[in-house]
């Protein structure tokens, strides 16, 4: 089972260790047809790329495509910023972005003091009360409803949620749930719930080094262990059908 493309890779534009070309060269050597560059978005405190770098990223993508023949999408891994599901992508950003991934990152900039104390602080301190899990779940549900999103990355990692509610809405909104190359929080029961709602999964590396591009062994182990059907993996041997964000 071979993935068509890896849609979660980082470069030196955030805190990856290689260039866009480095990632594309490794992708080509591993037989991948496509990758996405998904450096951390504008609202990350430590490892974000800037809007002033967009033209340089586009130029680097074009050069790497020509040099390798690998198709390269300009993506972003954005952050949940508020209880009402806001992320850092603006409408004008969709003019250059091909895909948008969203995940919880503890070093993102909370939109307000309330968001910090009600969302970030409890999760960062691992204070996972029933009320907190409900807040976490509502945050992601509102993001799915209101924000331009293709992929939810490492769902449940550092931010426990009600899987069933998210699975139901993600399916309705054509959003893929990631099986991350490094971090997966799903239990067997979670996978059963996700499959009950016919969740579409995407196998990604979350590579921060070029040599890790295309390394989806962690996610594939879940596929094999829990019997996730091939039809539910959107990039297994075929190109994902990403919904339009505009």
- Percent of the chain topping pLDDT 90: 88
Is the confidence at residue 243, as pLDDT, over 80? Answer: yes
Higher pLDDT, 88 or 213: 213
pLDDT at 46 over 80: no
Pick the range with the lowest mean pLDDT from 49-53, 88-92, 136-140: 49-53
Mean per-residue pLDDT over the chain, rounded: 95
pLDDT exceeds 70 at position 150: yes
Average pLDDT over residues 136-149: 97
Question: For the segment 54-67, what is each residue's pLDDT rounded down to a tens digit?
Answer: 999 999 999 999 99
Cα dihedral sign, 39-41-42-43: negative
Strand pairing category for 151-152 and 99-103: parallel
Report the distance separating Cα 69 and Cα 117, nearest Å.
Answer: 47
Burial of 14-51, coded b for 16+ CB within 10 Å and e otherwise, reads bebebbbbbbbbbbbeeebbbbbbbbbbbbbeebbbee
Average pLDDT of 90-107? Answer: 93
Distance separating alpha carbons of residues 125 and 117, to the nearest angstrom: 11
Specify the pLDDT at position 165.
Answer: 96
As a whole number, mean pLDDT of residues 30-40 equals 96
Q: What is the mean pLDDT of residues 108-122?
A: 93
pLDDT at 45 over 70: no
Cα–Cα distance for residue pair 73/36, rounded to 1 Å: 4
pLDDT digits (tens, 9 = 90+) for 155-209: 999 999 999 999 999 999 999 999 999 999 999 999 999 999 999 999 999 999 9
Show the DSSP H helices in the chain as ranges.
Answer: 20-29, 54-68, 113-115, 121-124, 130-146, 163-172, 188-196, 217-226
Q: How far apart are CA 6 and CA 207, in angstroms?
A: 9
How would residue 49 be classed by pLDDT, with cut points 50, 70 and 90? confident
Query: In this predicted model, what pLDDT tens digit does every residue of 213-231 receive, in sequence order?
Result: 999 999 999 999 999 999 9
Backbone angles phi, psi at 90, to 5 degrees: -100, 165
pLDDT of residue 1: 65
Q: Token pair of 31, please?
A: 């037989």
In angstroms, rounded to a whole number, what is the distance separating the alpha carbons of residues 183 and 55?
31
Band (106; pLDDT cuts 50, 70, 90): confident
Percent of the chain whose pLDDT exceeds 70: 98
Per-residue pLDDT at 20: 98
If one counts every other C-beta atom within 10 angstroms of the C-beta of residue 66, the result is 9
Distance CA(140)–CA(242), nearest Å, equals: 19
What order of strands is seen across the sheet that includes strand 34-37?
Answer: 5-9, 34-37, 71-79, 99-103, 151-152, 176-180, 201-204
Q: Give the other-Cβ count within 10 Å of 224's Cβ.
A: 10
């Amino acid at each position: 089972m071979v993935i068509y493309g890896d849609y979660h890779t980082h470069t030196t534009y955030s805190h990856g260790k290689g260039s866009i070309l480095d990632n594309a060269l490794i992708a080509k050597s591993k037989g991948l047809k496509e990758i996405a560059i998904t450096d951390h978005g504008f609202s990350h405190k430590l490892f974000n790329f800037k809007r002033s770098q967009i033209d340089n990223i586009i130029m680097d993508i074009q050069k790497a495509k020509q040099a390798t023949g690998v198709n390269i999408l300009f993506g972003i891994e954005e952050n949940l910023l508020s209880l009402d599901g806001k992320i850092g992508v603006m409408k004008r950003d969709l003019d250059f972005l091909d895909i948008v991934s969203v995940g919880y990152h503890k070093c993102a900039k909370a939109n307000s003091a309330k968001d910090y104390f009600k969302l970030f602080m409890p999760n960062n301190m691992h204070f996972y009360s029933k009320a907190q899990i409900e807040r976490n779940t509502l945050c992601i549900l509102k993001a799915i409803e209101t924000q331009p999103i293709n992929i939810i990355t490492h769902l449940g990692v550092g931010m426990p949620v009600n899987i069933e509610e998210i699975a139901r809405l993600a399916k309705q909104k054509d959003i893929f749930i990631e099986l991350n190359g490094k971090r997966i929080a799903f239990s067997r029961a979670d996978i059963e719930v996700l499959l009950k709602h016919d969740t579409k999964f995407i196998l990604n590396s979350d590579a921060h080094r070029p040599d890790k591009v295309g390394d989806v062994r962690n996610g594939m182990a879940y596929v094999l262990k829990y019997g996730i059907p091939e039809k539910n993996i959107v990039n297994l041997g075929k190109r994902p059908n990403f919904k339009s964000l505009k």
